[in-house]
Amino acid sequence: MASRSIDHAFTAEGFLGAASDPTYAGAPSFLRRRFSKTPNGSDVTVWGVPFDAAVSNRPGARFGPAAIRRASMIFDNDPQYPFRRDLFEALSVVDYGDCLLDYRLPETAHATIQAEAVKILGDTGFLLTLGGDHSITFPLLAAHAARHGGPLALVQFDAHQDTWPLAESSNGAMRVDHGSFVTGAVASGLIDPRHSIQVGIRTHAPEDCGIEILDGDDLEDITSDAIAERISKRVGDTPCYLTFDIDCLDVAFAPGTGTPVSGGPSSAKMLSTIRKLGGLPLVGADVVEVSPPYDHAEMTAIAASTVAMYIVGLRAEAKGG
């Protein structure tokens, strides 16, 4: 026990190296990474956006970042499967904490998220955001598109297309919610539909915006290799943003979400797909729509934290060879 420590999120001397906290105790940062508001050129910065004022069904995703962090504690100590390595031996990862939002003025949230994302992106190699409802992807795309100088390819794992019509808010601004963020992103030139793809769709929307769709039924009949190949072919070499709405998974694997839809893929199949996306020119990512009040035995939060860990694993492989 002499070599072990606790509260690595506060006691770590840097952004590298594994923690040794008990899996059931200690400060719950994401993957036990050190908390810091100064990423200082880190390879990956993890950030929470606890916002759910743009949902059309069940709220609760504001509690998502905390739940995902807590669930990630089970990955401590051992080499992370299936990467067969300590992800933090060479990859510097920091937990930036959460975005501060004024709950009295939800209409200001997207501007606040975008401004802080721009700030973080100026000091890190990669931003991984924990949500929060899916509307937060809109300001995140704006921040990433600005950094990379043009529209991005969007890889969206989701049960919904999120391409419902835009409306105008009371102050004349474009109104974007969790069901219309894709429409807003296309209209604003943040994503290139010709290189974008949606995976796991199990609902109908009035518009596809020119984005390729892999329906939930399609996923039943093809392998994770084939899904990854379709994604990679669509994206090509366009800088790519990955957003994973946890309701992409069937309710059997992710009941704790705002708008659950039956008939989706398993967590195993989608994780296997992500595992095969190491060749994507990935520039940013988020995991959203975890609503703990509807979860059971943390199964949704565990699935979401595993998706996020896989994304970190891909970054570790890309850096470490």
Based on its alpha-carbon atoms, the radius of gyration of the chain, rounded to whole angstroms, reads 18
| Closest C-alpha to 181, from 195, 194, 202, 167 | 167
pLDDT of residue 3: 60
Diameter of the chain measured on Cα atoms: 61
Q: What are phi and psi of 145, to 5 degrees?
A: -65, -40
Regions of the chain short of the pLDDT cut 70? 1-3, 76-77, 168-173, 321
Residue of 42, 47, 54, 37 lying closest to 15 (CA atoms): 42
Is 158 assigned to a binding site? yes
Contact 32, 87 (CB under 8 A): no
**Angle, in degrees to the nearest 10, between helices 267-275 and 299-320:** 10
What pLDDT is stored for residue 1 in this prediction? 46
Write the single-letter amino acid at 286: D
pTM: 0.94
The phi and psi torsions of 254 (rounded to 5 degrees) equal: -150, 75
Q: Is 295 annotated as a binding residue?
A: no
Whether the ω angle into residue 292 lies within 30 degrees of 0, i.e. cis, is no
Rounded Cα gap, residues 143 and 149, in angstroms: 10
pLDDT digits (tens, 9 = 90+) for 67-119: 999 999 988 667 888 998 889 998 999 999 999 999 999 889 999 999 999 99
Pull the structure tokens for residue 50.
């606890």
233 membership: H or E segment, kind and range: helix 224-235
Beta bridge partners of 49: 131
pLDDT value, residue 269: 98
3-class secondary-structure state, position 117: helix
Q: Any known ligand binding at 178? A: no
On whether 123 is known to bind a ligand per the annotation, the reply is: no
Q: Which of 258, 259, 252, 246 is nearest to 61 (CA)?
A: 258
134 annotated as belonging to a binding site for a ligand: yes
Residue 192 annotated as lining a ligand binding site? no
**Tell me, what's the pLDDT at 179?**
76
Q: What domains appear along the chain, each with residue ranges and CATH number? A: 8-320 (3.40.800.10)
If one counts every other C-beta atom within 10 angstroms of the C-beta of residue 236, the result is: 12
Burial-class residue 213 by CB neighbours within 10 Å (0-12, 13-18, 19+).
middle
Cα 142 to Cα 167: distance, rounded to the nearest angstrom: 19
pLDDT for residue 2: 47
User: What's the DSSP call for residue 198?
Assistant: E
Cross-strand bridge partners of residue 50? none
